[in-house]
Amino acid sequence: MYFYEKKGRYIIDFADIPSEPAEMPEISVQERKHNFKEVETGFAGEVAVREAKRCLSCRRCLGCALCWAECKPEAINFNLPDQDFDLEVDKVILTSGMQRNIAPIAGNFGNRHMNAVTDLQVERMLADTGPSTGLIIRPQDGEIPKKIGFAQTFGAVDDRIRDAVLTFGINEAIIARKKINGVEISFISPDMDAFRASAGSDLDKVSGVDFINGSVVESTEVGENKHIQVKYETGGSEKTDVFELLVLLTLPQLPSHIAEAARQLGIEVDYAGFLGNSLFKFGPEGVKSETD
Amino acid sequence: MAKKKVLVMGGGAAGIRAALEEAAAGNKVYLVEHFPGIGGERIPQDRIITDRDLFSAPDLAAIKKNENIQVITNADAQELVSENGRYKVKVHCRTPRVDREKCDECGQCIKVCPIHMYDDYNEGLEWRTAIDFFNSASGNYNIFKEDMPVCQRTCPMNLDIRTYVGYIADGKFAESLATIRKKLPFPLSIGRVCPHPCESECNRGYKDEAISICFLKRFVADHEINNNIEPKLQLPAEKYPEKIAIIGAGPSGLTCAYHLALFGYEKITVFEALPEPGGMFRVGIPEYRLPKAILAKDIEFITRHGVEIKTGVRVGSGISFDYIRKDHDAILIAIGAHKAMTMRVKNEDADGVFEGVKFLRDVALDNEVPNKGTAIVVGGGNVAMDVARSGLRIGFDEVNLLYRRTRKEMPASPWEVDAAEHEGVKVHFLVAPQEVVVKGGKAVGMKCIKMELGEPDAGGRRKPVPIEGSEFVMEADTIFAAIGQVTDNSLVDEKIGFKFGRKLNFEVNPETFETNVPGVFASGDAATGADIAIRACAGGKRSAESIHKYLRGDVMS
Amino acid sequence: MCTGRMDPALVADAFVHGADGILVIGCHFGDCHYISGNIIAKHKLDMARQTLAYAGLNPARLRFGNLSSAEAAKFAEYNTEFVEQIRQIGPLGAGDEIGMPKLGEKLKIAHQALASPKLRWVIGKKPVFLDDGNKYGEVFTEHEFNRTLSWIIIDEMAIHSILAALQKRPAAVKDLAEELQIPAADTLKYVLALKRRGFVELNSVEGQSPVYKYKAEEEC
Ligand SMILES: Cc1cc2nc3c(=O)[nH]c(=O)nc-3n(C[C@H](O)[C@H](O)[C@H](O)COP(=O)(O)OP(=O)(O)OC[C@H]3O[C@@H](n4cnc5c(N)ncnc54)[C@H](O)[C@@H]3O)c2cc1C
């Protein structure tokens, strides 16, 4: 199990890191006719060394032990082993936990834009103990956006998941409205009408958010400030709008370790299952799911 | 009522609530969380909020105070089994490397740590240090140490890429090659043919392009032969007497033999049905991608470690499996997957229809092969590309390749498809074969139908569906089927009781590669179904370790 | 004194105080009385040179050489040649990537970075990392070590310039970025990381800009 996920990470520029990747030399198509000569001819020495120098030598903890040297209570122990223990229990309760992936729509939608963030990132921003002290900020320059778009990044899903994701996003929009004076918020989802039908009056009470039943077709970064221009389709016509920050609504998934545990206990579960029931209990009486 | 024991998996809001409830009911609770910290405030997703309940934060203080709740972070429950109404669980807890009893959370360590890294908890909004608290609310300090870098983790063989690439950057080619050979005895071959899953994960790809890891491996290996450097052999002083038989001299069998030799086994015999060793390296992958002379160098390196290869011996016909079993202390079955799957179209057995893998094998062994006129290749994988590209080389005037889906779904590596097209192979997408057209007992063409992509299925893959009335006939003198291979497991008698999988492959324990028959192991394509070579090598190495363990007792744990 | 004892910050300090060139001469490799003092000296000077070059100094202004005490003539030759080279480059600020007084400012930052514990500690580990390995027994290639060190140098330079700027006055990320010529997105991450570590705190919000300030009493 790894929790070190591959996610966007920063890569520095340093003059001595070559940037151009090396090309493998090949014999021409003409030379390949009617023979089985090796097509790729291999790197020359200097090319190989240059290519190898492009390697970033990724590593997290260096193992330099500076922290250990500085730790007054001597709490750091590099040799502290992993621990395995056997438990015997009468009851197992599974809760969902969460993991969210971005499903990119249209070519360049979403996570490659500097000022596009996920709903989970916004949740962290809004938390007072979070990295931005409760402020919503643009990752590109740390400024507070005055115009925010929320957009759904996935297509048809289980209604329970759809409702959970939209509710989560709408709640973020509500908090953003409270926190940022005069902010303009648009909320674009192809399931907006369907959601409104199920959410009813609670949604009508939300003010200051422009709910749009539509789907994003394309998004592009514009200008030096890297605002995001979003093209979306609504009611049969195409519209464009420019946002200072775009929040991508992502699809929650069951972390693999939970799904695996459930499988070992003999049931198949998905994230939606947890939404209705919030947790699964396995006791001597068999499986029982509990409603929140 | 007696106190019950409860395992709660997941330290989020729901898990914490459940733990508190169970503890309040007088039960002993183990709260197991995958991440290093529990809790965290959340925005509700089950109701639209009003002014007051913006965030819901779980009651961490109550958890800390409660003596009936044991919190186990950085941990996963493995092997959950229910037995007589109770549950047995193995919990594996990854070390935090910080003694939580002693840590006073002063934060001095994070002030001096020189490393900035991605902050999972805050979704990458800021950087954290390598030693750090995970979640400021639970404040569990922790050293974030990855087992290995992403490239190495992605490599089925876990080659130490960071180190061998680093050595190349330092100009230390011999050290680099030695690093590779600690695990992989086929650097010349793998360095040419590996589809390099490692490169797709390379972090450099976020900036511009991934490092050419595969070609760098080829470079250091080529450097040795181009400069006539004697490879260094590292044979252990301690020797073992057991006799081990390996059936199949492909990448998997030979890698296993190599590692057994490194452990000190001296009586290793590899039985190979074909006249030449190397498996699909020798008779599958065409020479223009992997020259025979190059492959021979890798194999020579292996045999110099004291591995004997007996070619031309087909186990199951020349010599029986039972005989080998009696005569050896352990056996590895690494016979690959050489039986072509059928297209399941009418007239498939007509004259002029060939198995793609057989064609490649005949080309590689200089046997006679069809080579005149027009050929059709059916399939979209790498084997199909090899058949098509070899077809043009061997003399066909035209090669048409048929694939049912689009380029995007093609299982072949994109660079292989590009090269094939570049060389003149005509690739026809969204075309499915229906029936071999036969004239005078001989195939003269293929009746095909055009396809379109329909709705995505459960796995998100869009299934091709035929377009009615779009049938047409494509002429051909020769037709090759290259739609997959299965294992020919007829060498073992049913009576022995091996279990087989969907691809007629030997079922094995995925960790140890042991079959259900004691002392018999299986790896490579014969165990996994047709796969890639590096995974076959990885399986060979793992089975060598298992065989060693099997013969020596639990020496490695 | 053994060159191995030489503090890399000392070199930076000399440039801060106006030196136009520095020549450090240690014993021949293999002849060290303390076994590896001169090798350590070379590592330290390489690091100092890289840091100073990152600050904008012409790296040719800092040179390391090996001589024994019996090579008086060669010593004189070395000196003359080095002095000639520096003369050709010109005084500080001429022949460097940036001119004075900006270079002077940046050299001060480089001095702080070199004087802080991180770089000194990590460079001290180089021989160990390459031969025996780190705390986990992982042996580094030279490339890997240098790459890691480059990252730390860049991080340290950024951190110390941000702290120096915030010590003068509180600022918003985009103003810091502009002043220090670090991309705003990176500046933001550095500022947040400094906040997490307790060196910086939120001062106020002005219009659309959160403004951060230096948090006193803590030493980097
Ligand atoms: C055309 C083609 C192209 C490929 N291209 C690539 C590529 O580019 N990159 C990549 O990574 N992978 C590629 N592969 C896959 C790769 O070659 C295989 O995954 C790999 O060779 C499997 O190794 P193995 O040792 O399990 O089996 P094999 O390589 O198939 O070796 C099995 C050996 O066992 C022998 N054998 C079988 N039965 C018996 C018996 N009864 N007695 C004795 N000996 C027996 C066979 O003759 C053979 O020599 C390709 C495969 C094919 C067919």
Predicted pLDDT of residue B229 = 95
Predicted pLDDT of residue A6 = 36
Residue nearest (by alpha carbon) to ligand 1 atom 14? B532
Give yes or no: residues B470 and B376 share one domain. yes
Side-chain half-sphere of A209: how many Cα atoms within 13 Å? 26
Question: Residue A143 pLDDT > 60, yes or no?
Answer: yes
Least confident of A40-44, B8-12, B442-446, C159-163: B8-12
Give yes or no: residues A109 and A202 share one domain. yes
Predicted pLDDT of residue B557 = 40
Question: Residue B485 pLDDT > 60, yes or no?
Answer: yes
Number of Cβ within 10 Å of residue B507's Cβ equals: 14
Instruction: Determine the structural domain holding residue A209 and report its residue range.
Output: 100-253
State the amino acid at position B532 in one-letter form. I
For residues C75-86, average pLDDT = 95
Q: What angle do CA A52, A53, A55 make, to 5 degrees?
A: 75
Question: Residue A138 pLDDT > 80, yes or no?
Answer: yes
What is the whole-number distance in angstroms between the Cα of residue B488 and the centre of ligand 1? 12
Burial of B510 (C-beta count, 10 Å sphere; 0-12/13-18/19+)? exposed
DSSP-assigned letters across all residues of B40-101: --B--SSS---SS-S-B---HHHHHH-TTEEEE-SEEEEEEEEETTEEEEEEEE---SB-TT
Number of Cβ within 10 Å of residue C34's Cβ equals: 11
Closest CA to B136 of B47, B36, B285: B36
DSSP-assigned letters across all residues of B247-277: E--SHHHHHHHHHHHHHTEEEEEEE-SSSSS
Cα distance between residue B60 and residue B75, in whole Å: 18
> Which own/partner pairs from A71-76 qualify as long-range (CB within 8 Å, at least 24 positions apart)?
A71/B108, A71/B109, A72/B104, A72/B106, A72/B108, A73/B102, A73/B103, A73/B104, A73/B106, A74/B102, A75/B98, A75/B99, A75/B100, A75/B101, A75/B102, A75/B103, A75/B104, A75/B141, A76/B97, A76/B98, A76/B99, A76/B109, A76/B131, A76/B143
State the amino acid at position B537 in one-letter form. C
Question: Given CA atoms A135, A139, A144, A148 in this order, what sign does their dihedral have?
Answer: negative
Question: Residue A107 pLDDT > 60, yes or no?
Answer: no
Q: What is the pLDDT of residues B169-202, one digit of tens each?
A: 999 999 999 999 999 999 999 999 999 999 998 8
Predicted pLDDT of residue A136 = 96
pTM over 0.90: no
Give yes or no: residues A129 and A231 share one domain. yes
Q: What is the pLDDT of residues C26-52, one digit of tens each?
A: 888 888 887 888 888 999 999 999 999
Predicted pLDDT of residue C37 = 84
Q: Is B273 in the pocket of ligand 1 (CB under 6 A)?
A: yes
CATH number at residue A153: 3.50.50.60
Closest CA of chain C from A245, distance in Å: 13
Residue with tokens 């935090």: B96
Give yes or no: residues A25 and A164 share one domain. no
Give yes or no: residues A140 and A221 share one domain. yes
Residues of B with CB under 8 A from a CB of C: 107, 110-112, 114-116, 125-129, 145, 162-163, 165-167, 169-170, 172
For residues C40-69, average pLDDT = 92
Q: Which strand (E) or helix (H) includes residue A187?
A: strand A184-189
Predicted pLDDT of residue B301 = 97
Q: What is the pLDDT of residues B260-289, one digit of tens each?
A: 999 999 999 999 999 999 999 999 999 999
With left for phi above 0 and alpha for psi between -120 and 50, is residue B532 left, alpha or beta? beta
**Is A33 inside any structural domain?**
yes
**Is B177 inside any structural domain?**
yes
Question: Residue B120 pLDDT > 70, yes or no?
Answer: yes
C117–chain A Cβ distance below 8 A for any pair: yes
Q: Give φ, ψ of A262 to 5 degrees.
A: -65, -40
Predicted pLDDT of residue A182 = 92
Give yes or no: residues A116 and A197 share one domain. yes
CA dihedral C13, C14, C18, C20 (to 10 degrees): -130
Indicate yes or no: CB of C210 within 8 angstroms of CB of A135. Answer: yes
What is the whole-number distance in angstroms between the Cα of residue B503 and the centre of ligand 1? 14
Cα distance between residue B105 and residue B159, in whole Å: 38
Residue nearest (by alpha carbon) to ligand 1 atom 16? B533
Cα distance between residue B328 and residue B268, in whole Å: 9
Helix axes B382-394, B414-423, angle to 10 degrees: 20
For residues B90-109, average pLDDT = 92
Q: What is the pLDDT of residues B284-307, one digit of tens each?
A: 999 999 999 999 999 999 999 999
CB contact at 8 A, A15 and B211: no
Burial of A16 (C-beta count, 10 Å sphere; 0-12/13-18/19+)? exposed
Q: Which residues of C touch B162 (CB under 8 A)?
A: 141, 144
Q: Is the peptide bond before C101 cis (omega within 30 degrees of 0)?
A: yes
C20 versus B55: which is more confidently predicted?
Answer: C20
Side-chain half-sphere of A213: how many Cα atoms within 13 Å? 9
For residues B375-399, average pLDDT = 96
Which tokens belong to B308? 């004997």
For residues C75-79, average pLDDT = 93
* Domain total of chain A: 2
Give yes or no: residues B434 and B493 share one domain. no
Q: What is the pLDDT of residues B5-42, one digit of tens each?
A: 999 998 888 889 899 999 999 999 999 998 888 887 78
**Is B235 inside any structural domain?**
no
Instruction: Determine the structural domain holding residue B44 and report its residue range.
Output: 5-141
CATH number at residue B406: 3.50.50.60
**Is A241 inside any structural domain?**
yes
Give yes or no: residues A113 and A63 share one domain. no
Give yes or no: residues B20 and B51 share one domain. yes
Which residues lie across from B309 on neighbouring strands? B270
Question: Residue A3 pLDDT > 50, yes or no?
Answer: no
Give yes or no: residues B130 and B95 share one domain. yes
Least confident of B525-534, C178-187, C210-219: C210-219
**Is A8 inside any structural domain?**
yes
Predicted confidence band at A52 (pLDDT cuts at 50, 70, 90)? very high
Q: What is the DSSP letter of B230?
A: P
Cα distance between residue B207 and residue A12, in whole Å: 9
Give yes or no: residues A119 and A226 share one domain. yes
Closest CA to C60 of C40, C38, C88: C88
Cβ neighbours of residue A119 closer than 8 Å, sequence gap 6 or more:
A100, A150, A165, A168, A169, A172, A247, A248, A249, A250
Domain ranges across chain C: 3-131, 169-220
What is the whole-number distance in angstroms between the Cα of residue B382 and the centre of ligand 1? 13
Indicate yes or no: CB of A93 within 8 angstroms of CB of B4. Answer: no
- The distance of Cα B492 from the centroid of its chain, to the nearest Å, equals 26
The number of C-beta contacts closer than 8 angstroms across B and C is 60
Question: Residue B157 pLDDT > 90, yes or no?
Answer: yes
Specify the CATH number for C169-220; select among 1.10.10.10, 2.130.10.10, 1.20.1050.10, 3.30.70.2860.
1.10.10.10
Give yes or no: residues A34 and A134 share one domain. no
Number of Cβ within 10 Å of residue B466's Cβ equals: 17
Residue nearest (by alpha carbon) to ligand 1 atom 27? B336
Predicted confidence band at B325 (pLDDT cuts at 50, 70, 90)? very high
What is the whole-number distance in angstroms between the Cα of residue C129 and the centre of ligand 1? 41
Question: Residue A5 pLDDT > 70, yes or no?
Answer: no
Give yes or no: residues A193 and A48 share one domain. no
**Is B520 inside any structural domain?**
yes
Which residues lie across from C156 on neighbouring strands? none
Q: Which of C121, C144, C192 has the CB atom closest to B126's CB atom? A: C192
Indicate yes or no: CB of A142 within 8 angstroms of CB of C209. Answer: yes
ipTM: 0.90
- The distance of Cα A22 from the centroid of its chain, to the nearest Å, equals 31
Indicate yes or no: CB of A255 within 8 angstroms of CB of B104. Answer: no
Least confident of A103-112, B71-80, B439-448: A103-112
pLDDT, averaged across chain B: 92
* Domain total of chain B: 4
Closest CA to C141 of A49, B201, B227, B222: A49
For residues B357-377, average pLDDT = 95
**Is B135 inside any structural domain?**
yes
Give yes or no: residues A107 and A238 share one domain. yes
Q: What is the pLDDT of residues A239-281, one digit of tens each?
A: 999 999 999 888 888 888 888 888 888 887 778 878 766 678 8
Burial of A276 (C-beta count, 10 Å sphere; 0-12/13-18/19+)? exposed
- The distance of Cα B2 from the centroid of its chain, to the nearest Å, equals 48
> Which own/partner pairs from B231-238 qualify as long-range (CB within 8 Å, at least 24 positions apart)?
B231/B177, B231/B181, B231/B301, B231/B304, B232/B174, B232/B178, B233/B304, B233/B305, B234/B262, B235/B261, B235/B262, B235/B264, B235/B305, B235/B306, B236/B262, B236/B263, B236/B264, B237/B264, B238/B264
